[in-house]
Amino acid sequence: MTQTWDPGQPGVLELPSGRLIRGRGLLRPLPAGPRPEFGLYLLGSRPAPVAWDSRWVRWRDLRLPADDADALDALTEAWRRSETERVEVACWGGRGRTGTALACLAVLDGVPPAEAVDFVRARYRRGAVETPWQRKYVARFRSPEG
């Protein structure tokens, strides 16, 4: 049985395929309701352990991932798992790195790279994807198959 988020929950982004992924900032308390089944955490240092499957991508604030291949692999895993699991993507504030990752997930889901930042800003958070280099990262992002 598919376990996904409620589309009306704060931070939940619906991708064109119907997949739901929650973006959030770790500075805020864990939202009420069901817990994630998989979390992708985008931080400069290893996050505290959580009670669900998780993956860490080394990604300093206002920067890009330290390892592009690791980031692509982690994003692809999150996108695949979001078809049947509750997946969350988070950094400290839930804007720059989280927004960049959500835009990349939108690209994996079929949104053209040139439109992905606007897609996420319209459907997740207006201030998502904070820096010019994060916007360029999304514009150059490609799925492993393409």
Name the residue ranges covered by the structural domains of the chain: 12-140
Give me the sheet containing 20-25, strands edge to edge.
12-14, 20-25, 87-91, 38-43, 53-58
The mean pLDDT value for 114-121 works out to: 98
Characterize 29-68 residue by residue with b for buried, 16 or more Cβ atoms within 10 angstroms of its Cβ, and e for exposed.
eebeeeebbbbbbbbeeebeeeeeebbebebeeebbbeee
Q: Quick one: pLDDT band at residue 143, thresholds 50, 70, 90?
A: confident
Phi/psi for 72 (5° steps) reads: -60, -45
- Of the chain, the percentage scoring pLDDT greater than 70 comes to 97
- CATH number of the domain at 12-140, please? 3.90.190.10
In three state form, how does the secondary structure of 64-100 look? CCCCHHHHHHHHHHHHHHCCCCCEEEEECCCCHHHHH
Average pLDDT of the chain, as a whole number = 95
pLDDT over 50 at 1, yes or no? no
| Residue 144 pLDDT grade (very low, low, confident, very high; cuts 50, 70, 90) | confident
pLDDT confidence of residue 5: 95
Q: What is the pLDDT of residues 53-90, one digit of tens each?
A: 999 999 999 999 999 999 999 999 999 999 999 999 99
